[in-house]
């Protein structure tokens, strides 16, 4: 699904240039669950954002399902993102002015899905994420664990093939953190590819493979459990 070659990303602010990623090579197979770890500032979010086509690399190649996407313009990236990719963030990033139902419905509106079809999809995914009883509530009326379940619902309601999660349990207590990890694992077992940034050893054990970044480079990689392409 993902093939990244000699990827570099630098940020320039006034006089200072930061090399956030320095020659990253990475392959991720469809159906894999990969964790990215490493100290603060080592480039984890930058890498995840480039994989998620929220940002472009400065140099190197990025192939998504065989298509070179590293140099695409924002409107072309948006087209690929829609319906293919779902995002989950540490701070949930729900829209406070919209209800739970409306937050999860939004990606389907962007896909021009009919209202009756949207309703069925949203109801189904809210049930699955065990948050249907809160559909008329606003994000601020929910606990952190509930908000993250809504965010996962929003990420998967389009049948996204790839979920990108940036420290999804970072703001949760361990009970809610484990619940979120179990939901992500379930989605992965049904075939969704997951790439997750985490600081937590507990969370990294859910992944097939762990990649350690340091100063913008992949320094070590370890296989937690076997992943077989054909088993998916």
Q: Which residues bind Mg ion (CB under 5 A)?
A: 44-45
The number of beta carbons lying within 10 Å of the beta carbon of residue 99 is 18
Which residues bind to ligand ADP, rule: CB under 6 A?
Answer: 11, 13, 18, 20, 38, 40-46
Return the one option of Mg ion, ligand ADP, none that residue 18 interacts with (CB less than 5 to 8 A, by type): ligand ADP
Chain centre to alpha carbon of residue 7 = 19
Query: Do 129 and 183 form a contact (C-beta atoms < 8 A)?
Result: yes
CB of 167 to ligand ADP, least distance (A): 8
Which residue's CB atom is positioned nearest to Mg ion? 45
Closest to ligand ADP by CB, 93 or 119: 93
CB of 30 to ligand ADP, least distance (A): 25
Closest to Mg ion by CB, 38 or 107: 38
CB of 159 to ligand ADP, least distance (A): 28
Closest to Mg ion by CB, 45 or 198: 45
Closest to ligand ADP by CB, 44 or 118: 44
CB of 84 to Mg ion, least distance (A): 22
Return the one option of ligand ADP, Mg ion, none that residue 11 interacts with (CB less than 5 to 8 A, by type): ligand ADP
Closest to Mg ion by CB, 217 or 232: 217
């Amino acid at each position: 699904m993902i093939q990244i070659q000699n990827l570099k990303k630098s940020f320039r602010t006034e006089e200072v240039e930061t090399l956030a990623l320095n020659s990253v090579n990475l392959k991720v197979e469809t159906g894999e669950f990969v964790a990215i770890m490493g100290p603060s500032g080592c480039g984890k979010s930058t890498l995840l954002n480039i994989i998620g086509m929220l940002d472009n690399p400065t140099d190197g190649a990025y192939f998504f399902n065989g298509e070179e996407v590293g140099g695409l313009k924002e409107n072309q990236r948006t087209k690929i993102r829609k319906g293919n990719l779902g995002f989950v963030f540490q701070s949930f990033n729900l829209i406070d002015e919209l209800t739970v139902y409306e937050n999860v419905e939004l990606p389907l509106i962007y896909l021009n899905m009919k209202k009756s079809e949207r309703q069925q999809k949203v109801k189904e995914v809210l049930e699955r994420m065990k948050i249907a009883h809160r559909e008329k509530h606003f994000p601020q009326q929910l606990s952190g664990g509930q908000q993250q379940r809504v965010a996962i619902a929003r990420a998967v309601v389009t049948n996204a093939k790839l979920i990108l999660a940036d420290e999804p349990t970072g703001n949760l207590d361990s009970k809610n953190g484990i619940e979120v990890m179990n939901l992500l694992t379930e989605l992965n077992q049904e075939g969704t590819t997951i790439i997750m940034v985490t600081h937590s050893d507990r969370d990294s054990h859910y992944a097939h493979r762990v990649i350690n970044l340091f100063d913008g480079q992949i320094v070590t990689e370890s296989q937690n459990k076997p992943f077989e392409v054909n088993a998916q």
